[in-house]
Amino acid sequence: MSTHSFGVIGAGIVGAAVAREITQRFPDAEVTVLDKAETVAAHQTGHNSGVVHAGLYYQPGSLKAVLCRRGVNLLHAYASEKNLPFEECGKIVVALAPEEESRLRDIHAKAVANGVPDVELLGPEGIRSVEPNAVGRLALHSPHTAIIDFGAVARALIDDVERAGGRVLLGAEVTSIANGEQGCSVTVERGGEQTSHTFDHLIVCAGLQSDRIARMAGGAAYPKIVPFFGQYSQLAPEHRTILNGLVYPVPDPAYPFLGVHLTKRVDGEMLVGPNAFLSFGRENYSGWRIGLKDSLEVAASPSFWKFASQNRQAAVQEVGAVLSRKKFLAGAADYVPSLEGAASTPITRGIRAQAMDRQGQLLDDFVIENIGSATLMRNAPSPGATSSLAIAEHLVETLGKHLRLTNVTSHG
């Protein structure tokens, strides 16, 4: 068989996983990873809380639910293989009000349908047995929800790609794509010079820039990415051991984001957050580097204004949490009362690549578009990092069948 060449745009955890999967399934293939950042995992992968989601919330049978459950198992095995920290610290989702209890029971039913192991509902005494400092009327306990360093995973995956003979070009910004049925030509700017790279097939896993890169490849105008930042605060050292694992609220279907929760990290630190608000820039991690192009694009989007009009109350609530860390932390103290008045320090914010359709609706499931010789990952929201190895498996297996490549190996 003649050598097939693959380009992968994006050196976050999904792109890294896809590139590694190609080297494993098609050992003779040429693989090139392109990313405009100077480091691996520079964006969403390197700015998240590190939670390995078990699959509690997702619609049974959805791509997200299936790939999350598969992804957990693959990720755990990979972490063990590479000696990366992976801690099954567990998680409780807590109902504080009577109206939250029915929603929590619905989540429990979804978790069971998705095959999440050992999930159970706990009353107040059960909550205290798992998390002595937490309170609530009813909780869903997921003992196998875990934490990991996704940035470390992405770097290990890229190392695997390079050891298998793949090329990784960082600092390489894609400026144009010529996409046809016979292949893709990708022009990049790197070190002040423009070069072209031709591939038999291109896979785009560009996260915050996924819609722009997709349009270069001839993809649809929607979904569009609207960036929302999430700010975490790190609790003072005396609170590092206040919880054994993670404490989450029950999601409110009228509210587009999850709300403040408490998250243990693999380095032992305890985080509270995040809030969620429109980011004035897709890569505005400091909060001060306003992205004019990004902001104007959002302001010119009718879909964003539809979304905003539907979520005024949520926006008002989030503004308060953004402006006042005291108010922000008060939400956490509802679940862990001893955190009342706790000291904390804001850490670098993360920015969600939130895909939105023409109607201003946030897309919930993974979205993959195929056009010409390109496969476009248009939406990979949480649990995208958890599912990364399974997303790669799914994409590359499907692609191998489409391209009629015969040296596909099975490693499930």
Structure tokens at 28: 């003779």
Question: Residue 331: which of 248, 260, 253, 228 has the closest Cα?
Answer: 260
Tokens 């380009």 belong to 7
pLDDT at 331: 82
138-158 burial: b if 16+ Cβ within 10 Å, else e: bbbbbbbbbbbbbbbbbbbbb
pLDDT at 314: 61
pLDDT at 158: 98
For residue 260, which phi and psi values (nearest 5 degrees)? -65, 135
Say if 69 falls within a structural domain: no
> Residue range 354-378: average pLDDT?
94
Tell me: do 196 and 296 sit in the same domain.
no
Mean pLDDT, the chain, rounded, equals 92
| Tens-digit pLDDT profile for residues 167-206 | 999 999 999 999 999 999 999 999 999 999 999 999 999 9
Question: Residue 36: which of 169, 158, 161, 155 has the closest Cα?
Answer: 169
> Residue range 335-364: average pLDDT?
91
Say if 58 falls within a structural domain: no
Confidence tier at 54 by pLDDT (50, 70, 90) = very high
Say if 101 falls within a structural domain: yes
Say if 14 falls within a structural domain: yes
Tell me: do 330 and 252 sit in the same domain.
yes
What is the torsional sign of CA 76, 239, 45, 354? positive
Tell me: do 332 and 256 sit in the same domain.
yes
State the total domains in the chain.
Answer: 3
Say if 389 falls within a structural domain: yes
Q: DSSP alpha helices (H): ranges in 191-291? A: 210-216
pTM value? Answer: 0.93
> Residue range 66-78: average pLDDT?
98
Say if 73 falls within a structural domain: no
> Residue range 141-156: average pLDDT?
98
Domain that holds residue 219: 5-46+151-223+364-403
- Residue ending a domain, among 125, 143, 161, is 143
Tell me: do 265 and 212 sit in the same domain.
no
Tell me: do 164 and 39 sit in the same domain.
yes
- Is residue 379 exposed (0-12), middle (13-18) or buried (19+ Cβ within 10 Å)? buried
> Residue range 43-49: average pLDDT?
93
| Tens-digit pLDDT profile for residues 287-333 | 877 888 999 899 888 898 888 787 666 655 555 455 456 777 888 89
Tell me: do 206 and 271 sit in the same domain.
no
- Helix (H) or strand (E) holding 346, with range, is strand 344-346
Gap between the Cα atoms of 95 and 137, Å rounded: 6
Tokens 């992205």 belong to 291
On the question of pLDDT at 1 being above 50, the answer is no
CATH number at residue 42: 3.50.50.60
Name the least confident of 28-32, 283-287, 319-323: 319-323
pLDDT at 411: 45
Question: Residue 399: which of 365, 364, 373 has the closest Cα?
Answer: 373
Distance of CA 73 to the CA centre of its chain: 17
- Which residues, 6 or more positions from 296, have their beta carbon under 8 angstroms from its beta carbon? none
Tell me: do 282 and 336 sit in the same domain.
yes
> Residue range 91-120: average pLDDT?
98
Tell me: do 285 and 370 sit in the same domain.
no
CATH number at residue 237: 3.30.9
Say if 390 falls within a structural domain: yes
Q: By percentage, how much of the chain surpasses pLDDT 70?
A: 93
Question: Residue 11: which of 163, 188, 155, 191 has the closest Cα?
Answer: 155
> Residue range 357-363: average pLDDT?
93
